[in-house]
Amino acid sequence: MKLKHLLLGTATLTSMVVTAIPASAAEIYIPLLTYRTGAFAVSGAAIGSGMADYLNMLNERDGGIGGVKLNVEECETGYDTKKGVECYEQVKSKNPIVVNPYSTGITLQIIPKAAVDKIPILSMAYGLSASADGQNFPWIFNPPATYWDGASMFVKYIGGKEGGLDKLKGKKIGLVYLDAPYGKEPIPLLEALAKDYGFELKLYPVPASEAQNQSSLWLNVRRDRPDWIYMQGFGAMNPTAIKEAIKINYPMDHFVGNWWSGGDDDARPAGPQAKGYLSFTFNQTGTNFPIIKEIEKHVVEKGKSLFPKEKIGETFYNRGVLNSIIIAEAIRNAQKISGKKEIDGSDLRRGLETLEISAARLKEIGAEGFASPMKVTCEDHNGHNGAFVTQWDGTKWNKVSDWISPIKEKVNPLIEQASKDYVSANAGWPKRSEPCDKSS
Amino acid sequence: MLYREAGQYKTNYATDVAVFPLREDRIGLAVILLIGFVVLPLTANEFMLQAVLIPFLVFALAAIGLNILTGYTGLVSLGTGAFMGVGAYACYKLTTFFPQVNIIVLAIASGLFSAAVGALFGLPSLRIKGFYLAVATLAAQFFLSWCFIRVPWLYNYNVSGAIEVPSRYVFGVPVTGATATPLTRYLVVLSIVVLMTWVASNLVHGRIGRMWMAVRDMDLAAELIGIRLLPTKLLAFAVSSFYCGVAGALLVFFWYGGAESAVFDVNQSFFILFMVIVGGLGSLTGSFFGAALIFILPIALRVLSPAVGLPLHPSTVEQLQFMIVGALIIFFLIVEPNGLARLWQIGKQKLRVWPFPY
C-alpha cells in the first residue's frame, strides 16, 4: 500500500462533486430518456434513434419549430428505474417541456411528481392506463391507445376471424404476459370481456427472471391448447415465447403480440418458422413515407443518426418517430395557443391537451397513413385510437388488417374505476387546478 | 502535524475505550455532521439532494445492515434486497392501516417485520455455513420476491402491482409523496441514518458486537468460551434485517415515492453486497465509503463527462462508466483487499506521523 495509491484514491473520492449545468436561452429543451444499454437495448436503441432523428431532422431542415431550435438531449436509463428517476431529476432543473419515461417502472415513479414540477409526461401507449383520465391526471398523456384498448382490439380481431364476437363463447384464450406491472395490465379487461362474451381466459405469467426459460410454461399451453394467444411481452421474452410456440407446434397465425411484442428483433431471432406470427401496431413500418425519406436525407445521410442505416424503418424505429411527431405537433399547437415561441412545460401541457393530428395534417407532414389520426381532449388524455394487425413474413412485417378501433364502452368504465382507485389510494391527490382550453 | 495524539492523556477507562479516542477525530465527526445537517441543506440543489444524497444515505444504511451480518458475524447473505422489500411493503401496509400515525415511526417499526422475517430465514445458519448459507439466503430472496409479485394483499390489490406512496405529514409538513420537498426528505433520512449508525456503533463496540466477532473469527472457539451460537446468529440476522428493512422503507417512501417488486430483486442484494465488500467488511465507516463508491461514482462520471466538455453520447458514457467503475473496484481490491475503510485507516495512520515518518 503506497501513499501514491492512497492519493489516487482520495482524488477519486473528492472528484465526486456534482456541477450544475447552466441552461441556455432561445431554445426548447426536450430531454429523451432512452435505453441504449442493458437487457432491452435492442428495442431501446430503435425507439431512441427514431425519436432523436425526427427532432434533429426538424432542426436541420426547418431550424427547429416556429423558428426556435430544439435542444434534444438523451439521458441513458438502461431501462432501470433507479437511473430513470435520476435522469428525471437531472433534466428537471433545465426546464424540460416534456418527459418521455420509456419504461412502465419509471412512469409510475414520476406520475405523482409531474403535477408538482409542472412537467407534462408523455408515455406513448405505455405506463398507467388509468392516466388516460385527464381530470385526475392533468399532466400525464398516453396517446394513442392504452393496453386495455389493445386487449379489446385483440378480442375484436379474433371475434372477426371466428365470425362474430358471439362465436367466442366457449373458446379458450391464453394470455402470455411478463409478470410485472406492465404485463399484468390487460388482465382486468380480458377478465371482464371473458365474462361478457363467454370465453375462457387462461393466464400464463412469465417471471422477468425466467424470460428466456419458458419451456415449462409452454407445456401448460400445449396441454390447454388455447384457441388464441395474446402476448404482452417485452425484450428477450418475445423471441423466446415465439420459439417455444413453434416447438409445441402452435399455429403462428393464432398467436398475437401486443404492440411491444411486435418488433423486428422479436420475430427475427425465432427463425423462418416464425412466419405468420401476428402483432398489433399503431404505426406503419418501412421507409416508404415522405417523412422517413426526409429523415434519411437530412439526418441519416449526414451520418448524424446512431442507428444502422439498413434498419431504418423497422417497427420500433418508426414508433420512435411517431412519438416525436406527437411532441412536435404539440409544440406547434402550444406555440399557437400561447402566442409564445419559446414555450415551457405548462404551455406544452395545454398544447397536448388540445392536440388534434388529423389525417390531413398527417399528410402535410409526410406521414399519410403512417398512424391513426388522433385527438386528445381535456377529459380524455389518450384518445383510444385504433391499431392494426401486422404479420411477420420471415423478413418483415406486413399489414394484414384494417385499422381496428377499441371497444370503448368496455374500456372506459375500467379507466374511470382505475383512476378513482388510484386517487383514493393516494390520499391527498391534488385536484385538477388547470383550466381546460377550448380545442383549437 | 495537525493530526496526532500527543498531549491527549487518557485518565480513565471511559476515554480509553472511546470509539473516537482522538480529539481530531471527534472534531472531524462534528464537522461532517455540521456539513450534513447545515451546509448541504443550504447549498445543495434539488438534483444533489434527491438523486445523490438521499439514495447514498439509504444505501449506506442498507450496507450497515448487511455489514452487521456479513462483516461482523461472518454470515454471507444474498437476501438483502428481499429484506429491504419486507421493510418497504410492511411500511406500506402499516401506513394503509394507520394513516394517522407518524410515518417516521412507521418506517422504523417496519424494520421489526423485516427483523422477524430475517430471523426466520436465519434459522439454517446454525447448521450451514459459508456458501451454503449464501444459497439459503438466496432462497429467501427468491421466495420473498415471489411474494411481492404473487400476494396482491401486499400492494393493496393495485392493478399495476406497484406500491405508491401516499402523502403523509409530520407536524403539518409533508414528508412523503410528491409534495414533500427533497430537503425535508433529506433531513428525515439523514436523522434516521445518523441515529441508527450511532446505535449500530454502540452495538458493535459492546458485548453483542464482541459476541458477533467471536462467532465470525471462529465459531467453535466462541462456543467453547460460552457464547450460545443460535441466539447470537439469530440476533445478527434480526438486527441486520432490521437495518435493511428500515433502509427499504426509506428507499420507497423518501426516495422513489413508489416501487414495483423488481426494485427488490437479487440485483439489489448484490448491489449492497458489493458496497460492503468494496467499503470494507466489519466497518461502519466502510459502509458509507462503499455506498459512495458504488452509487455516487457512476453518477459523478455521468454528470461530469459533459461538464468537462467530452462530446460523448450518453449511451457511450454509460458503457464507459461500467468499465471504469468495474476497473476501479478491481483496482481498489488489489491495492487494498480489506476495502476502502482499511485505506482510510492507513491514511490516518500516515497522517499521524506526517511529516516525519519513521
Chain B residues within an 8 Å CB radius of A75: 314
Name the closest residue on chain A to residue B161, using Cα atoms: A181
Query: Residue A124 has what pLDDT?
Result: 93
Instruction: Give the confidence band of A7 by pLDDT, cuts at 50, 70, 90.
Output: low
Return the closest-CA partner of residue B260 out of B114, B160, B135. Answer: B160
Question: By the 8 A CB rule, do A87 and A45 touch?
Answer: no
| Intra-chain end-to-end CA distance of chain B, in Å | 14
Residue A11 has pLDDT above 70, yes or no: no
A36: nearest CB among B177, B315, B347? B315
Residue spans of beta strands (DSSP E) within A35-189: 69-76, 121-122, 140-141, 172-178
In the numeric block, which cell numbers belong to residue A71?
435542444
Residue A268 has pLDDT above 70, yes or no: yes
CA B114 from centroid of its chain's CA atoms = 15
Tell me whether residues A427 and B296 touch, CB distance under 8 A: no
Chain A residues within an 8 Å CB radius of B161: 180-181, 184
Query: Residue B92 has what pLDDT?
Result: 95
| Alpha-carbon distance A229 to nearest alpha carbon in chain B (angstroms) | 21
CATH 1.10.3470 fits B46-353, yes or no: yes
Chain B residues within an 8 Å CB radius of A115: 178
Query: Residue A26 has what pLDDT?
Result: 78
- Given CB atoms, is B303 within the 8 Å cutoff of chain A? yes
A180: nearest CB among B260, B306, B307? B260
Query: Residue A357 has what pLDDT?
Result: 93
pLDDT tens figures, A153-209: 999 999 999 998 999 999 999 999 998 878 888 998 999 999 999 999 999 999 888
B262: nearest CB among A105, A112, A130? A105
Q: Which residues of chain B have pLDDT under 50?
A: none
Query: Residue A24 has what pLDDT?
Result: 46
Question: By the 8 A CB rule, do A217 and A263 touch?
Answer: no
Instruction: Give the confidence band of A18 by pLDDT, cuts at 50, 70, 90.
Output: very low
> Mean of the per-residue pLDDT values for chain A?
89
Return the closest-CA partner of residue A365 out of A289, A282, A284, A440. Answer: A289
Query: Residue A193 has what pLDDT?
Result: 94
In the numeric block, which cell numbers belong to residue A161?
376471424
- Given CB atoms, is B258 within the 8 Å cutoff of chain A? yes
B343: nearest CB among A9, A18, A181? A9
Cα–Cα separations (whole angstroms), residue B61 to B19, B236, B299:
19, 15, 19
Domain ranges of chain B: 46-353
Look up cell 456479513; give the residue: B70
Return the closest-CA partner of residue A14 out of B41, B318, B347. Answer: B347
Query: Residue A25 has what pLDDT?
Result: 52
Query: Residue A8 has what pLDDT?
Result: 55
Concatenated DSSP letters for A245-308? HHHTT--GGGEEE-TTS--HHHHGGG-GGGTT-EEEESB--SS-SHHHHHHIIIIITTT--SS-
CA A321 from centroid of its chain's CA atoms = 11
Instruction: Give the confidence band of A6 by pLDDT, cuts at 50, 70, 90.
Output: low
Question: By the 8 A CB rule, do B148 and B117 touch?
Answer: no
Instruction: Tell me the C-alpha distance between A120 and A103, whole Å.
Output: 16
For residue A144, cis peptide bond before it (omega within 30 degrees of 0): yes
Question: By the 8 A CB rule, do B110 and B91 touch?
Answer: yes
Rounded to whole angstroms, the maximal C-alpha distance in chain A is 80
Q: What is the number of CB-based contacts under 8 A between chain A and chain B?
A: 159
Residue A19 has pLDDT above 50, yes or no: no
In the numeric block, which cell numbers belong to residue A110?
414520476
Instruction: Tell me the C-alpha distance between A226 and A353, whole Å.
Output: 41
Q: Residues of B numbered 135-164 whose beta carbons fall under 8 angstroms of chain A's beta carbons: which are they?
A: 149, 156, 158-162, 164
Q: Give B264's DSSP letter.
A: G
Instruction: Tell me the C-alpha distance between B302 and B318, whole Å.
Output: 7
Q: Give A68's DSSP letter.
A: B
The SS3 call for residue B116 is helix
In the numeric block, which cell numbers belong to residue A77?
436509463
In the numeric block, which cell numbers belong to residue A434?
388547470
Domains annotated on chain A, with CATH: 27-145+286-385 (3.40.50.2300), 147-281+389-413 (3.40.50.2300)
Tell me whether residues A112 and B328 touch, CB distance under 8 A: no
pTM recorded for the entire structure: 0.85
User: How many CA atoms lie less than 13 Å away from B292 in the CB half-sphere?
Assistant: 19
Tell me whether residues A16 and B160 touch, CB distance under 8 A: no
pLDDT tens figures, A421-438: 888 877 778 888 888 876
- Given CB atoms, is B261 within the 8 Å cutoff of chain A? yes
Name the closest residue on chain A to residue B348, using Cα atoms: A6
Instruction: Tell me the C-alpha distance between A70 and A55, whole Å.
Output: 7
The SS3 call for residue A65 is strand
Tell me whether residues B318 and A207 touch, CB distance under 8 A: no
- Given CB atoms, is B299 within the 8 Å cutoff of chain A? yes
Concatenated DSSP letters for B22-71? SHHHHHHHHHHHHIIIIIHHHH--HHIIIIIIHHHHHHHHHHHHHIIIII
Query: Residue B102 has what pLDDT?
Result: 93
Chain A residues within an 8 Å CB radius of B265: 208-209
Tally helices (H) and strands (E) across chain B.
17, 4
